[in-house]
Homo-oligomer: A and B are copies of this chain.
Amino acid sequence: MMMNRSLLRAAARSLQAGPTSVAGRRCASSAVFNWEDPLAAAELYTEEELAVQDTARQYCQDKLAPRVLEAYRNENYDRRILEEMGDLGLLGAHIQGYGCAGVSTVASGLITKEVERVDSGYRSGMSVQSSLAMTGIYEFGTEEQKERFLPGLAKGVISGCFGLTEPNHGSDPGSMETVAREHPTQKGTYLLSGSKTWITNSPISDIALVWAKLESTGKIRGFIVERSRATPGSYETPAIKNKSALRASITGMIHMDNCPVPAENMLPDVEGLKGPFTCLNSARLGIAFGAMGALEDSLARAREYSLERKQFKGNPLAKYQLIQMKLANAATDAAYGTLAAVQVARLKDEGKATPEMISMIKRQNCDRALANSRILQEVFGGNAASDEYHIARHVANLFVVQTYEGQSDIHALILGRAITGVQAFC
């Protein structure tokens, strides 16, 4: 039991009596329908997992929710969020050791869900740190790399990003152009050149896990690029502004022009797409949970609005069949998606999850979160155009969430290939 985990659990225990306590809900729910958890997924969680969820929810509702409107309006990500999350043990929570909480994959997914209940951008900022950067180092790094980077990343004092996607190769990372050459004169140093884009946190990150083709072999390798060790002009991370979504997160490019990286920063144990795909699978599993958080928040807000808003003879909108249909559909998809995510998370901890399973739940949960949030947006009528109702933000965010880390169609073709044994990418 690591320090952060202790913190996490202690925080959790103190919260269990609170009014928004998930754990508290379980006892009361025995045979009562709970619209916030229609199929009683909470019955599948351990006490520890419920405590983790409570901790995460408390933090998210108390500390993140109040910041999101301003952050989204101004495309302003508060760097301190990573440290706050680190203090609670929420970063890299699924990792054993190295200052990480070492909780189950379900617990880790529930953290993700609680963060995305507030905003998909905040969740993206956490995912890139936890599932992409930390997971990459944890799974494929040397012991020295792990000890050097993971504790700081877990605390949020180091910020990490993940450089895979390139401007011309969104869905097809195998065609990447970024290259790592051995330094012509300086032995033990690689020079990285190339561009990465749509990199969450790149402008504020201290390190980047960058994937590049090793010139000598043509194989994809991973490099921990430290901003502090780059030579002037060799490593630039301009922010991408005027985004149409995920504006509460910061996104940028990474331009590398013979950026020097010491050989000891290359991940030793992985070659080809296995490295980035392992990280992506970890992140995608998190997204499958996270998207359900955004959907649940959309549902809760639409429900509340429908009960408060009166039209036609003083009836609340909630009284109309067409409104109830929207709410029922959203609740159903949120419930189904949560069960599926829990199932795959459990299988993962048992060593039985496959990438196709993760494709399935990443795709379906994102698709359904997006489709339902759009329908729920209709409940708000014209008021949806005001950002103070939050629904338009979820809708805009969820489009990107559906798209990144494997657009829905790509995952459909991955599944189609797994089902038929025939590939149809071209």
Check A347 against B377 for contact (C-beta < 8 Å): no
- Cβ of A403 < 8 Å from any Cβ of B? yes
The residues of B that contact A426 with a CB separation of less than 8 Å are 312-313, 315, 319-321, 426
**Are A420 and B303 in contact (CB-based, < 8 A)?**
yes
Of the residues B73, B306, B377, B381, contact of A171 by C-beta under 8 Å: B381
**Which residue of B243, B327, B374, B412 contacts A385 across the interface (Cβ within 8 Å)?**
B243
Q: Is A217 an interface residue (CB 8 A)?
A: no
Would you call A31 and B352 a contact (CB within 8 A)? yes
Interface string of A316-327 (1 = CB under 8 A from B): 101111111101
> Are the C-beta atoms of A321 and B424 separated by less than 8 Å?
yes
Query: Which of B32, B332, B412 is A328 in contact with, Cβ under 8 Å?
Result: B412
Interface residues of A in 359-417 (CB under 8 A from B): 360-361, 363-364, 374, 377-378, 381-388, 392-393, 395-396, 399-400, 402-404, 407-409, 411-413, 415-417
Stretch at the interface among A35-43, A147-155, A203-211, A264-272: A35-43
Query: Could you mark each residue 164-198 of chain A with 1 if its beta carbon is under 8 Å from any beta carbon of chain B, else 0?
Result: 01001111100100000000000000000000001
Return the CB mask of A49-93 against B: 1 if under 8 Å, else 0: 000000000000000000000000100000000000000000000
> Restricting to A207-234, which residues have a CB under 8 Å from any CB of B?
none
- Bound form: Cα–Cα A175–B315 in Å: 12
Q: Is there contact, CB below 8 Å, between A386 and B244?
A: yes
Interface size on A, residues (CB 8 A): 108
Task: Chain B residues near A352: list those with CB within 8 A.
Answer: 29-31, 40, 43
Give how many copies assemble into the complex.
4
Please tell me if the beta carbons of A407 and B381 are within 8 angstroms of each other in the complex: yes
Within 8 Å of chain B (Cβ to Cβ): is A278? no
Q: Which residues from B are CB-within-8-Å of A165? A: 382
Docked complex Cα distance between A132 and B353 (Å) = 38
Select the stretch in A12-20, A102-110, A335-343 that faces chain B.
Answer: A335-343
Using CB atoms, name the residue of chain B closest to A364. B332
Q: Inside 8 A of A35's CB, which chain B residues have their CB?
A: 418-419
Which of chain B's residues have a CB closer than 8 A to the CB of A243? 385-387
A292 CB-CB contact with B under 8 Å:
no
CA of A130 to CA of B425 in the docked complex: distance in angstroms? 42
Q: Is A257 interfacial (CB 8 A cutoff)? A: no
Verify B315–A419 contact, CB threshold 8 A. no
Neighbour of A353 across the interface among B31, B171, B395, CB < 8 A:
B31
Q: In the complex, what residues of B have CB within 8 A of residue A245's CB?
A: 385, 392
Contact B170 A321 (CB under 8 A): no
Q: A170-B381, A306-B420, A324-B412 are in contact. Are A340 and B339 (CB under 8 A)?
A: yes
Set of chain B residues within 8 Å of A385, measured between Cβ atoms: 198, 243-246, 251, 400, 403
What are the residues of chain B within 8 A of A329 when measuring CB–CB?
412
Pairwise interchain contact B353-A382, C-beta atoms closer than 8 A: no
Cα A40 to Cα B424 with chains together (Å): 25
- A325 nearest in chain B by CB position: B412
Q: A331-B419, A377-B399 are in contact. List 5 more A-B contacts (CB 8 A).
A: A245-B392, A306-B420, A322-B325, A325-B412, A378-B409
A-B contacts, 6 listed (Cβ < 8 Å)? A171-B381, A244-B385, A320-B424, A324-B415, A328-B413, A335-B360
Closest CB pairs A-B (n = 7): A324-B416, A244-B392, A328-B415, A321-B321, A33-B356, A318-B420, A35-B419
